[in-house]
Chains A and B, each alone.
Chain A
């Protein structure tokens, strides 16, 4: 029964990853060809020059900021879906999924029309006389975070909602009947029980942020590139597949350690529940 799935994983995931790892030991010819070799020069290049680790550090920092933003902005709607008895709940849930129906590139580009110098916000602010010249909101880290938030927020909401939905509401009622206020019941009962969903959402958002390059490319300014932008440039721009592969392997290793640690202590099955 498992054979087709395992075959797919083997051929479509394991073998390509092995190719990437093998490439990371090769050399680039002066014109962009590949020279088979077994050497660690590509890894040494990464660790010898702080420019490359600094990009990885920046990526992790931006990923953590994105996780924090998604958590704060995602918990509230997830909790609302859990509590509401509204007959519009299925419709509201569809609204959460709605952005996925539009191309990610289009969604990211649309921020230019909203945040740009002649975009909607600046246009309105200048029209009503609040500002004289456009307020710069684009091409900085805040704009990148905005793009990432828009992309990843639904993943966080769904993970938290699935976790909340599994909590028996009578537990909260029991806590209140024993003297807890609404806030205390949430803090002592609902919040702890929803933590598996929170942590699954955090992991998913973190991993996806580390691997994305479009928001920094479209909404970022000078100095907002992340590690995935560098990998793209090395693989496509300079045909330096060996060094690009080494960068990918390092990122993969880092994310692998994080996922392993998560799975060791919290269990990765929570993510799959929300994706179902």
Chain B
């Protein structure tokens, strides 16, 4: 709220108290001032200002992930600093980015977020929502896997806007009642094109990258440098005829696999670990050049950086990082060469005991983001049967 508006409001308040202005006129003025402030992005800004440095917002996946962070990072942080962490759940990466873009000023209503994928890190940067962290204020960053940090640094000119927090893969889940391990390993990515599985295959409908990635592997191409696009589109058209359901969320993926609706599908490694923990006969296949990705705690532009950095350091302590990893079934970003990992982490799909992440192929953000619109539209067409 502008200083002038504050002065006007004070003056009007005094006039009302002195009986120079009627209650109706005072309320009318308040309404007009409120609307004016709203039009220039005021209500939320005012609320933020009211909270000031007493709080910081954190958006994440909710559920057990947030519970673990609340217990091991947020509550101790509040106890030590007196700053409250207001955590909220988002429904997905795309939805959250749309919310950030829709807020005014863009990104200004949000502070920290638990985001996925390197290409999204690049998208936030390209849209101007990025901040610059002072790494000297986050000593626990020393324990993070170097490859993860370097991947992010490469996008933001050697600086960081986020700290890596966990990593995972989009591999292939298959039902071991109907598909043997030998067959799955023999076919690799081509398992998703096995004609015997017609009507029992699934895939992630909402992401062109995942589908193109596996089509590239199936057609023996490098996913980050597809030279024969037609082969990829043809493979996806062929696969569409065999797909029973393009799923839209992790819970739907789990439901399809758990209820034998599909026997094989691309799947997030953490979701597969959850199904295995529940006793379902689901195997996990990570063919050569499996789609790997990382999650990170992103600090959005406009955030109080000193508070954010202090909180990030708390979150990178081994206790909360391992608790979150156990909750969401994705290995933490901490280097196993420096931090002892419990058995529960070591047996997670996608866990790298070497700490080097050699052989983990991440999506090249420049390559994929520059084709996003064109390839999304093409993928939508293929999915629709056009």
Do residues A51 and B381 form an inter-chain contact, with CB atoms below 8 A? yes
Do residues A222 and B246 form an inter-chain contact, with CB atoms below 8 A? yes
Do residues A54 and B386 form an inter-chain contact, with CB atoms below 8 A? yes
* Contact partner, A32, options B95, B127, B384, B385, Cβ 8 Å: B127
**Contact size range, A:** 20 to 34
Query: Can you list 6 contacts pairing A with B, beta carbon distance less than 8 Å?
Result: A31-B369, A117-B260, A136-B244, A222-B385, A225-B384, A233-B206
Answer yes or no: A240 CB below 8 A from chain B CBs.
yes
Do residues A221 and B244 form an inter-chain contact, with CB atoms below 8 A? yes
* Contact partner, A221, options B94, B101, B245, B381, Cβ 8 Å: B245
Query: When chains A and B are docked, how far (Å) is the Cα of A51 from the Cα of B381?
Result: 7
Residue of B nearest to A139 (CB): B245
Q: Closest CB-CB distance, B373 to chain A, in whole Å? A: 6
Do residues A239 and B98 form an inter-chain contact, with CB atoms below 8 A? yes
* Contact partner, B199, options A31, A136, A217, A230, Cβ 8 Å: A136
Q: Taking A116-B259, A235-B98 as contacts, is the C-beta distance between A32 and B376 under 8 angstroms?
A: no
* Contact partner, A117, options B126, B261, B369, B376, Cβ 8 Å: B261
Do residues B383 and A222 form an inter-chain contact, with CB atoms below 8 A? yes
Query: When chains A and B are docked, how far (Å) is the Cα of A55 from the Cα of B383?
Result: 12
Q: Which residues of B contact A176 (CB under 8 A)?
A: none
* Contact partner, B123, options A31, A55, A218, Cβ 8 Å: A31
Answer yes or no: A223 CB below 8 A from chain B CBs.
yes
Answer yes or no: A129 CB below 8 A from chain B CBs.
no
Query: When chains A and B are docked, how far (Å) is the Cα of A30 from the Cα of B128?
Result: 13
Query: When chains A and B are docked, how far (Å) is the Cα of A233 from the Cα of B379?
Result: 12
Answer yes or no: B69 CB below 8 A from chain A CBs.
no
Q: Which residues of B contact A32 (CB under 8 A)?
A: 97, 101, 123, 126-127, 372
Q: Closest CB-CB distance, A247 to chain B, in whole Å? A: 12
Answer yes or no: B329 CB below 8 A from chain A CBs.
no
Do residues A139 and B244 form an inter-chain contact, with CB atoms below 8 A? yes
Q: Which residues of A contact B127 (CB under 8 A)?
A: 31-33
Answer yes or no: B115 CB below 8 A from chain A CBs.
no
Query: When chains A and B are docked, how far (Å) is the Cα of A140 from the Cα of B126?
Result: 39
Q: 8 Å CB contacts to A: which residues of B100-124?
A: 101, 123
Query: When chains A and B are docked, how far (Å) is the Cα of A31 from the Cα of B129?
Result: 12
Do residues B126 and A31 form an inter-chain contact, with CB atoms below 8 A? yes
Residue of A nearest to B96 (CB): A236
Do residues B245 and A118 form an inter-chain contact, with CB atoms below 8 A? no
Do residues A51 and B386 form an inter-chain contact, with CB atoms below 8 A? yes
* Contact partner, A240, options B248, B373, B384, Cβ 8 Å: B373
Answer yes or no: A107 CB below 8 A from chain B CBs.
no
Q: Closest CB-CB distance, B361 to chain A, in whole Å? A: 23
Do residues A230 and B243 form an inter-chain contact, with CB atoms below 8 A? no
Answer yes or no: B255 CB below 8 A from chain A CBs.
yes
Q: Which residues of A contact B246 (CB under 8 A)?
A: 221-222
Q: Which residues of B contact A233 (CB under 8 A)?
A: 206, 376, 380
Do residues B376 and A239 form an inter-chain contact, with CB atoms below 8 A? no
Do residues A236 and B95 form an inter-chain contact, with CB atoms below 8 A? yes
Do residues A239 and B244 form an inter-chain contact, with CB atoms below 8 A? no
Query: When chains A and B are docked, how far (Å) is the Cα of A136 from the Cα of B248?
Result: 20
Q: Which residues of B contact A112 (CB under 8 A)?
A: 255, 259
* Contact partner, A237, options B94, B244, B255, B381, Cβ 8 Å: B94
